[in-house]
Amino acid sequence: MHYFNGLAVLSVTQLSRYLKELLEADDVLQNIWVQGEISDCKTYSNGHCYFTLKDAEAQLRCVYFKNARLRSEAPELRNGMAIAASGHISYYERDGKLQLYVEYVKLVGEGALFLRFEQLKARLAAEGLFDESRKRPLPGQPAVVGIVTSPQAAALRDMLRVLRVRYPLAEVLLAPTLVQGSEAPASIAAALDLLNEHGEAEVIIIGRGGGSIEELWAFNEEIVARAIARSRIPVISGVGHETDFTIADFVADYRASTPTAAATAAVPDIADWQSDLQAKQFELTELMEAYLEDMAEKVERTQRDLQRANPSDLLDRRRQQLDDTAEFLQMRLQHILSLRVERLSGMAPVSYTHLRAHETDSYLVCRLLL
């Protein structure tokens, strides 16, 4: 070993081993719990998992070997999860890093709630509660809208405003309930059952405004999911904001991103009706005007045809044609008879008389034909 000014000069390896020995000799560091948020999480094909545990001011590299993961039956770790990890601290000489060798992982805070959420979601999905085939269509023009929320909630005021503006024809039934806290899930389920027993509502909105995952958690409880599933009346969920998803959203017949959106989905917009009626009125007016113009043209065309084909004028023309024809025939017959008379002038009188009779008969026949 070398010395400088009375101090030992250590190699990197010697220092690394010294640090490792110090850490492993500390009983506190050999059985310790550390809480933080997971980042840079990677799980390799051999089953080993590496991640960083961090908080606002520091970070610690962690190693979670396959055997330890199997023993602790830990959930799959992902970035952003909040956990408490137990294990021992040591120094990884090759990389010169202080590391926590994890033996057990426990989800905490939102991480624990997230695990509960995923487990319940998987179980209810397996039962078919999320199937599209069981979801009922919303009524187009509900006479009565049921609302399950807190009477003091700002969300209620927003929903009432939307309902009043969009469809003032609807009556609103409020089933007051708690929307957060340990008693809220049972309260929400009871309110849903009450509206079903009452029977007048044609659609039900359940919801509340935004909040933390803990504040919205009542809508992730199984008792609420079961109440929605057994409701005979279609249910619209409107919980939190666009990015918030609850178990109630998956079970409900329709999921709206916010309470305001839920009210919008529940009723039609009477302004759209008015616009549609105006459009229909304009369309009918155009059709009527086109029809009347067409009929006027047909009447004018018929009048012109009648004028051109007046029955009285037609008969007069036909009579004139017949008279002209009769006159022509009479003159023709007389001419023919005259020729015959000239040819037969040398014959006996009886024969002439006979022809004269025939001439008279021919003339009579012509007149009769006219």
Complete DSSP assignment for 214-283: TTTGGGGSHHHHHHHHH-SS-EEEEES-TT---HHHHHSSEEESSHHHHHHHHS--HHHHHHHHHHHHHH
Rounded Cα gap, residues 147 and 172, in angstroms: 7
For the stretch 52-68, pLDDT in tens is 999 888 999 999 999 88
**7 vs 274: CA distance, rounded Å:** 93
One-letter amino acid of 107? L
| pLDDT band per the 50, 70, 90 thresholds, residue 103 | very high
User: b/e string for 340-358 if b means 16 or more Cβ within 10 A?
Assistant: eeeeeeeeeeeeeeeeeee
Instruction: Determine which of 171-180, 244-253, 327-336 has the lowest per-residue pLDDT on average.
Output: 327-336
Question: Which residues on adjacent β-strands are paired with residue 98?
Answer: 91
The crossing angle, in degrees rounded to 10, of helices 184-198 and 222-230 is 10
- Tens of pLDDT, residue by residue over 244-283, are 889 999 999 999 999 999 999 999 998 877 777 777 777 8
What does pTM read for this prediction?
0.56
Name the helix (H) or strand (E) containing 175.
strand 171-176
Main-chain dihedrals φ then ψ at residue 118, nearest 5 degrees: -65, -40
Which 8-state DSSP code applies to residue 143? S
The Cα–Cα gap between 53 and 84 comes to 9
Report yes or no: 96 and 16 within 8 Å, Cβ to Cβ: yes
* Residue 69 predicted with pLDDT over 60: yes
Q: How many Å apart are CA 243 and CA 343, to the nearest integer?
A: 125
Q: How far apart are CA 89 and CA 78, in angstroms?
A: 22
Residue with tokens 């178990």: 247
